[in-house]
Structure 1
Amino acid sequence: MSHAIGPLRVGPAVTAGLAVLVVTACSAPAPPRSVAVTSPSPAASTGAPALPAPTGALPVGTTALYLKDASRPDPWVPEAKARELMVTLWYPARTGAGRRAPYMTAKESELTLRGKRVTGAPYDMLSRTRTNASSDVEPAGRKGGLPLVVLSPGFTMPVSTLTSLAEDLASHGYVVAGIDHAHESYATTFPDGRIATCVACDSDTDPGFGTRVVQGRAADVSFALDRLTGSRPAWDGSGLIDRSRIAMAGQSIGGAGSVAAMLRDTRVRAGIDLDGTTYARIPKSGLSRPFLFVGSPEHVPGGRDNSWDRDWKLLTGWKRWLTVEGANHQSFTDVPVLAGSLGVPAPGGLSAARSAEITRAYVRAFLDLHLRDGSRRPWPRHPEVKVCTPGSGTCA
């Protein structure tokens, strides 16, 4: 593991990653809609990061939902008798006019940078990150016409580190639900001002920790789907969602959570793992729904991490395994965009723009293929992206 990439896959590697000064988890969850945004002074804005513009034609809106699952206690704080979640939605909007959505609050930025021991930037720097979505604007679309994609971030990382991907998908007509799994990142802010800190960080060397995380995330996903597509939806725009077209994507253990969620919940009809070691065990009968692996060069067939080799044999539907030359574990997140403003090394050999372009292109191609009629559209062809053939041990 490179010391430039931070907490990666849950397991022995995480212990080392958490002790390192890392850029990889340097962001925080999108704040609830009650959080006020103030414009920083020009001097404070100097060097602040800006996310790349979405590639779709539709304006993007965003809002945050507070969800409370009273049917189960919090897996990390057992005395909390209900599981609380913040879910950030990105969606096609009727207008792009409105208050620009914040990336996070100043307090969330501070807690995250302190947690990651990043000292080369002001503690509020991540709250200055410029997004491309408008807060709480009216969604656009016809009833039941929009596919839904659930996003889950890596361990210790908030879902805001996947904002660039989420905004891009929304600009192409997807509803995106990014879940902040409370107590698994440094700061998740609830509407009443409470901040859930990373209680799980104290347990990451426990036996079976990875399995415990993905099982909890799968339960979070199912509950979020209940609240977004059930008879009493938590979002006013839920009627726009096509309940038959739901997929999930995640980075690191969020990608492992995609496998776990698909095994738990048949509503998730396709899944993507962005460079995450998997933990949920697929039964011998197999998993027949479509799945995409996208990874750094560490994730080659027969490599150090054998979890993809194990799962590949049990994926019986459409499947593809891609590696990206020059990528590292965090190249599939917003981290490359954030690195320069934080005064830390950029991850991998790809530029921030190229990392975002590749991640967006292949994720959307997969989703278009399996949630829309995308079979006639050409698959992206970037020279850095190699298609792997397990068994032969080659990626070309």
Structure 2
Amino acid sequence: MSAHVQMSPWEVLLILGAVVLVLARWLPLRLRAPVGVAAAAAVAGSGAVLGVLGLRWQMVPVLAGAALALPFAVTPLLGARTGRVARRAPWWLALPGSVACLALIAGGPAAAWALPTPVFPEPSGRFAVGTSVLELTDPERPETATAAPEDRRTVVAQFWYPARTGGKDTGHAQYLGRTQHEARVVSDALADYAGLPGILLDGLPRARTHASFDVPVAGEGERFPVVLFSPGLGGVRTQNTAWAEELAGHGYVVVGLDHPYDSAAVVLADGRTIRTKVSATGDDAEDEKRAAGWTAVRAADLSFVRTQLDRIHNGEIAGPLTGHLDTGRVAAAGHSLGGAAALQAARQDPRFAAVIDLDGAPHDPAPQPYPQPVLALTQAIGPDTDPEYIPRLTRVLSLGTATGYRLTVPGAGHLTFTDAPLYLPPLPSLVGSLDRTAGPRITAAASLAFLDSTLRNTPGDPAPALSAYGTLVVHHPGQDPKSAA
């Protein structure tokens, strides 16, 4: 569904009216007036409604094309009012103008296709999806990104969880934030971080997800395994919403984290907005040193939130998830730098039972053996891929004392494993060559196969299920890695 152009009925009416307005000039003279008037009315009416509801920038070229065609369409009316016969410009002069107007109008749906408002895939699990947000402060850990000695490390955590079926009727949460203001701030910050004009991502604050805020948890006292998620460098807690909702629909609680001063923008409960302080220097050695520092902070964030899960489950921190967290079955996960943080957090904290690394190169300066099974999903390896990426990842996976899996997904790019394919232009250099929904679907399916095996102890080897999605290399403890493709 999301691979198609997403437009409202009013936008469709605006485009059709504009096209007819251009073509009216080529109709027989007796039809030009009624057709032109009807088309002009459609454009004016739909444009007015969209102006009230919120006009997307993608519709601006449609209005421009209609405005250029309007004088030619209403000329017969002006001639009739003055009693003179309306004259048409020669066809060889009118044709380039009509083509130019149609090209402008076509730019509207083309832009809506390239940069759509994301439509999230319907979760396929048996549960509805609820969501809740908590702000968590670690009183024992100073905030190293500021000079104020009283500042303590604070993270914002968003939970996606299995909800009662009735939760689907309570209204769906918007993407990127709890409020329209937060969603707009985060959207603008993401665009700024990517070096894009904010208007290009104006569809993000309009998007709605499949989760409902603070609805009751499914089951009567049922406890669900937990997956903590750290986003990519400059990313935000909601960047993998499609993945999180799919996992929640299958009975997992997913917790996405905002890392202040690293995430593009973090909006706190007191109204403050913390923008990223992350920056590259261009010096490889210095940038690796900085990446190692950011990874260490994120790994500590993951362990801190892991500790808070016990307090949430016990009711010390109020919320809908009291009594519903299986804190003995918790996985660390992340994308890009977040994947590196998940690996490091697991190495440092044995309370994590498994790790999912979504295309993240390790930055642990002192990698050591760790006991957790790992699933590492990687982009398709090509000539532009960092040549140190796979060797570095392989060295870390080989340190595991449990079985590890490295799955390379054909056609995948670095952002394939996020929500980005749902709203960025489908260019291989940006989001890989898979269609808009294939990336989130494969990421979730592979994650579920791995999590069911490691957190739920589902009988059987997950390798056959994983190998269906790409080239699988299995790292058995103490053995050379073997391909399962």
Q: TM-score, normalised by structure 2?
A: 0.67
Structure 2 counterpart of 1:337:
422
Deviation at 1:55, TM superposition (A): 1.4
Matched position secondary structure for 1:221 = helix
Structure 2 counterpart of 1:63:
132
**Range 197-206 or range 127-136, more displaced:** 197-206
Give yes or no for contact 1:203–1:209 (8 Å, CA) kept in 2.
no
Instruction: Report the Cα distance in structure 2 between the residues aligned to 1:333 and 1:140, rounded to whole angstroms.
Output: 26
Give yes or no for contact 1:282–1:311 (8 Å, CA) kept in 2.
no
Residue 263 to residue 354, structure 1, CA distance change in 2 (3 Å): same
Instruction: Report the Cα distance in structure 2 between the residues aligned to 1:226 and 1:203, rounded to whole angstroms.
Output: 35
Per-residue CA deviation, residues 307-347 of structure 1 (Å, 9 max, x unaligned), is 11211221121211110111111110001111149x99751
Residue 381 to residue 213, structure 1, CA distance change in 2 (3 Å): closer
Residue 392 to residue 270, structure 1, CA distance change in 2 (3 Å): closer
Give yes or no for contact 1:144–1:243 (8 Å, CA) kept in 2.
no
Instruction: Report the Cα distance in structure 2 between the residues aligned to 1:179 and 1:370, rounded to whole angstroms.
Output: 22
Q: Give the one of 274, 282, 285 matched to 2:358.
A: 274
Instruction: Report the Cα distance in structure 2 between the residues aligned to 1:167 and 1:100, rounded to whole angstroms.
Output: 12
Structure 2 counterpart of 1:182:
260
Residue 252 to residue 280, structure 1, CA distance change in 2 (3 Å): same
Alignment of 1:231-250 (within 5 A): 232-250=316-334
Instruction: Report the Cα distance in structure 1 between the residues aligned to 2:210 and 2:121, rounded to whole angstroms.
Output: 8
Instruction: Report the Cα distance in structure 2 between the residues aligned to 1:258 and 1:114, rounded to whole angstroms.
Output: 26
Give yes or no for contact 1:156–1:201 (8 Å, CA) kept in 2.
no
Residue 186 to residue 118, structure 1, CA distance change in 2 (3 Å): same
1:88 aligns with 2:158: yes
Deviation at 1:246, TM superposition (A): 0.5
Give yes or no for contact 1:245–1:371 (8 Å, CA) kept in 2.
yes
Matched position secondary structure for 2:248 = helix
Q: Give the one of 94, 98, 121 matched to 2:170.
A: 98
Deviation at 1:122, TM superposition (A): 4.5
Q: TM-score, normalised by structure 1?
A: 0.81
**Range 227-236 or range 85-94, more displaced:** 227-236
Structure 2 counterpart of 1:116:
194
Give yes or no for contact 1:249–1:272 (8 Å, CA) kept in 2.
yes
Instruction: Report the Cα distance in structure 2 between the residues aligned to 1:360 and 1:164, rounded to whole angstroms.
Output: 8
Instruction: Report the Cα distance in structure 2 between the residues aligned to 1:311 and 1:216, rounded to whole angstroms.
Output: 19
Residue 289 to residue 345, structure 1, CA distance change in 2 (3 Å): closer
Structure 2 counterpart of 1:54:
123
Give yes or no for contact 1:107–1:124 (8 Å, CA) kept in 2.
no
Per-residue CA deviation, residues 183-227 of structure 1 (Å, 9 max, x unaligned), is 112211111211110012367954521221121112111211222
1:166 aligns with 2:244: yes
Rg larger in structure:
2
- Gapped regions of structure 2 (runs ≥ 5): 1-51, 59-111, 177-182
Q: Match for 1:92: what amino acid?
A: P
Q: Match for 2:169: what amino acid?
A: A
1:287 aligns with 2:370: yes
Matched position secondary structure for 2:451 = helix
Identity of aligned residues (%): 32
How big is the alpha-carbon RMSD for the aligned residues of Structure 1 and Structure 2?
2.9
Per-residue CA deviation, residues 37-84 of structure 1 (Å, 9 max, x unaligned), is xxx927449741111111112110111111111211223224262111
1:145 aligns with 2:230: no
Q: Give the one of 390, 405, 411 matched to 1:320.
A: 405
Instruction: Report the Cα distance in structure 1 between the residues aligned to 2:223 and 2:474, rounded to whole angstroms.
Output: 36
Q: Match for 2:136: what amino acid?
A: L
Instruction: Report the Cα distance in structure 2 between the residues aligned to 1:197 and 1:151, rounded to whole angstroms.
Output: 20
Instruction: Report the Cα distance in structure 1 between the residues aligned to 2:151 and 2:382, rounded to whole angstroms.
Output: 39
Structure 2 counterpart of 1:41:
53
